[in-house]
Structure 1
Amino acid sequence: MLISQELRRPTILVADDSPQNIELLSRVLGQEYRIKVATSGEKALKIAYSDEPPDLILLDIMMPDLSGLQVCQRIKSNPDRRRIPIIFVTAMTTVEDESLGLAMGAVDYISKPISPPLVQARVRTHLALYDQSRELERMVAQRTAELVATRQQIIRRLGRAAEFKDNETGNHVVRMSHIARLVAQQAGLGPEAVQLVFQTAAMHDLGKIGVPDRILLKPGPLTEDEWVIMRQHAQIGADIIGRHENELLATARAIALTHHEKWDGTGYPQGLKGEQIPMNGRIVAIADVFDALMTRRPYKPPLPAAESLAIMAEQKGKHFDPMLLECFFQQQFEILKVMELYSDDRGAMMDQ
């Protein structure tokens, strides 16, 4: 019980080169708080950067090696430690000294010789404010995570809404999202960029909502007039998503609009060529076509893996970005695992 109570007590770092000052502050605060001490600036930084940083620092300005101002500056420049409240406790008491200390990021300034009740009150106040700040950050982080998760679910389900029209289970959006993720990883995109394409790939065919069922579900080849209508789904999807500054929605729109563009410029709706096509659109084009080859559609039976891969290879530099297609083939075994894991035969899968 005593150990548990000790661990719950806030930790105060007292950094001062005077043993008498350390002893005095430890005696004033030791009944309520755990006390750590440092007699130099280097030692103070070592404690502040440790795995168990203090909850508040009482810092003298005039110390050997590093001054208190230098210690404060270094702590405030460290993103992992800059929120720790620092109170200067010093004999430097001019207005200029106080202004400089506060400008460096200190939350308060106590003059020596200290008043024990004043020190106790200031420490208690700033610890309470720090606790409130940490709790607010925790709540904001939790709420942000919830909003991101909700937004991802909405995107995934909007993608499914379109796929349910011509794909009984809607697993297409799950498979091709994972394929796009694997290609993006192999292409060297960073973790955030990979996650972005994974999250937004599901929206690629949202515009199918606007295509009549007589065309979308037609079991045979489409007429030229029907193709004109079918090709509109890329622009319809982009229009449904709309223009946004939000990166997630902006990426989803770009994918919906460009995933039928082709590397050689013969795609639609804009006839973009090569790197005019956004990277994410080029990645999703590969994932979308391969899944379409491998799975049953109203107009075709599924093709074997070997035949599907051969067709993909034939489109290098034509339909597909040659570099990204090479990334696709480097990940082909993992991609085939995705096809099996999320097969339509397994029924509808939510996958996150």
Structure 2
Amino acid sequence: MNVLIVDDDLPNLRLFSHLLKAVPDVVSVEMQHPLDALAWCGTHEPDLVLVDYRMPQMDGLQFLQGFRALSGKAAVPVIMATAETDDDVRHTALQMSANDFITKPVNKTELRARVTNMLALRRAQLQLASRADWLAGEVRNATREIALREREAIYRLSRAAEFRDPETGGHLLRMANYSRLLAANLGLDSAEQDLILAAAPMHDIGKVGIPDHILLKPGRLDDEEMAIMRTHAQMGADILSGSTSPLLQAAAAIAQTHHEKVDGSGYPHGLRGEAIPLHGRIVAVADVFDALTSPRPYKPAWELERAAALIRDGAGSHFDPACVDAFLMNWDAVRQIHDQFQDHGAA
């Protein structure tokens, strides 16, 4: 345990250091100048400070005030050495968070006992802090594990919906990563980017409730069939709604609103502009772009540049212009995602 001794009187400094040699596991650090001692404390961690009150550069109270202002020093025990007549000083020091006093002239037995008691307090503090850090780490690990399992369950549920859908296997990975890229380019923080990456694959979960003769129809849907198909957005929201999980809440909003259009012509509720949640506006761009650039039974894949032109043309009508700009601002990253998550690599 490191005990910092601050006293401008060299004989006193040496006496204190000598007396503390009898205390087990103590390493004393001796300093005559309180300003130097404060500077030392800025880069070192004492376990106890023994400081004299009467010093010429700054007195013990001023030192105590400066010491407590240092980062991480609020709980370090401080013993102040004072004369028997310094009652007012003691009262002030107590108000400034001094922990104990030693009276000059010093009694060696009393000094060792008070130092031993304060170091026992310090050891208890350190043990509690270590335990708290360990518990915090365990909570973080448990929370991370829960989040990973939650995301795995969502991804597997998304794949279950995809098995009934003619869309390709890599669609979930591509559109989710497009969504994260778009979120990053909009300036959303990393936590929000990760949230949309995990939630976006649930956008079409409502298709589990669409009859096969409509969902798997190779040709164009008639008006009645299209009306049934469009129910998948609200159906997905109904499946996911009511959860306390931020991830499932985001997924519910995406499922419900990724077919809305900023001009109000989308479905299921004809929302306009910023009435559409940002996550829904982001996924709308990513989903349409990947649908265009992926092969389907009823069409070949579009070239990336052709799809980008359609997305750009849809800014202000179908898509949020800010989301379009954010998506297209890093074209190399878009290409990389398209190439990285092809169907043969996503199986």
Scaled by the length of structure 1, what TM-score is found? 0.78
What is the match of residue 194 of structure 1? 193
What is the match of residue 8 of structure 1? none
Write the distance in 2 (CA, Å) between the matches of 1:29 and 1:137: 37
For 1:90, what is the secondary structure of its paired residue? strand
Which of residues 18, 27, 32 in structure 1 aligns to 2:25?
A: 32
For 2:79, what is the secondary structure of its paired residue? strand
The one-letter code sitting in structure 1 at the alignment partner of 2:34 is S
Write the distance in 2 (CA, Å) between the matches of 1:42 and 1:164: 71
Give CA-to-partner distance per residue, 1:7-45, whole Å, 9 cap, x none: xxxx63636455646973693598526666675367546
Residues 61, 88 of structure 1: 8 Å contact kept: no
Write the distance in 1 (CA, Å) between the matches of 2:323 and 2:192: 15
Which of residues 82, 100, 105 in structure 2 aligns to 1:110?
A: 100
Residues paired across the two proteins, number? 323
Give 1:268 shift. Answer: 0.7
What is the match of residue 45 of structure 2? 54
Residues 14, 22 of structure 1: 8 Å contact kept: no
CA 54–295 in structure 1, closer or farther in 2 if over 3 Å, else same: same
Residues 166, 296 of structure 2: 8 Å contact kept: yes
The one-letter code sitting in structure 1 at the alignment partner of 2:123 is R
CA 261–73 in structure 1, closer or farther in 2 if over 3 Å, else same: same
What is the match of residue 123 of structure 1? 122
1:88 aligns with 2:82: no
Write the distance in 2 (CA, Å) between the matches of 1:214 and 1:336: 35
CA 321–301 in structure 1, closer or farther in 2 if over 3 Å, else same: same
What is the match of residue 182 of structure 1? 181
Write the distance in 1 (CA, Å) between the matches of 2:176 and 2:321: 20
Write the distance in 1 (CA, Å) between the matches of 2:52 and 2:211: 75
For 1:112, what is the secondary structure of its paired residue? strand
Identity, % of aligned positions: 34
CA 269–34 in structure 1, closer or farther in 2 if over 3 Å, else same: farther
The one-letter code sitting in structure 2 at the alignment partner of 1:112 is I
Bigger Cα Rg: 2
Residues 293, 302 of structure 1: 8 Å contact kept: yes
Write the distance in 1 (CA, Å) between the matches of 2:286 and 2:30: 59
Deviates more, 1:232-241 or 1:297-306: 297-306
Write the distance in 2 (CA, Å) between the matches of 1:152 and 1:23: 64
Give CA-to-partner distance per residue, 1:252-300, whole Å, 9 cap, x none: 2211111110011100111011111111111110000000111123443
The one-letter code sitting in structure 2 at the alignment partner of 1:170 is G
For 2:97, what is the secondary structure of its paired residue? helix
Give CA-to-partner distance per residue, 1:230-263, whole Å, 9 cap, x none: 1111112112221345433322221111111001
What is the match of residue 297 of structure 1? 296
Residues 166, 216 of structure 1: 8 Å contact kept: yes
1:170 aligns with 2:165: no
For 1:89, what is the secondary structure of its paired residue? strand
Write the distance in 2 (CA, Å) between the matches of 1:275 and 1:260: 14
1:101 aligns with 2:93: no
Residues 259, 284 of structure 1: 8 Å contact kept: yes
1:12 aligns with 2:11: no
The one-letter code sitting in structure 1 at the alignment partner of 2:336 is K
What is the match of residue 145 of structure 2? 146
For 2:334, what is the secondary structure of its paired residue? helix
| CA RMSD, Structure 1 to Structure 2 (Å) | 3.2
CA 194–36 in structure 1, closer or farther in 2 if over 3 Å, else same: farther
Write the distance in 2 (CA, Å) between the matches of 1:29 and 1:165: 79
Write the distance in 2 (CA, Å) between the matches of 1:302 and 1:29: 83
1:265 aligns with 2:264: yes
What is the match of residue 68 of structure 1? 64
Write the distance in 2 (CA, Å) between the matches of 1:329 and 1:124: 57
The one-letter code sitting in structure 2 at the alignment partner of 1:32 is D
Write the distance in 2 (CA, Å) between the matches of 1:31 and 1:253: 62
CA 40–95 in structure 1, closer or farther in 2 if over 3 Å, else same: closer
Structure 2: unaligned runs, 5 residues or longer = 104-110
The one-letter code sitting in structure 1 at the alignment partner of 2:64 is G
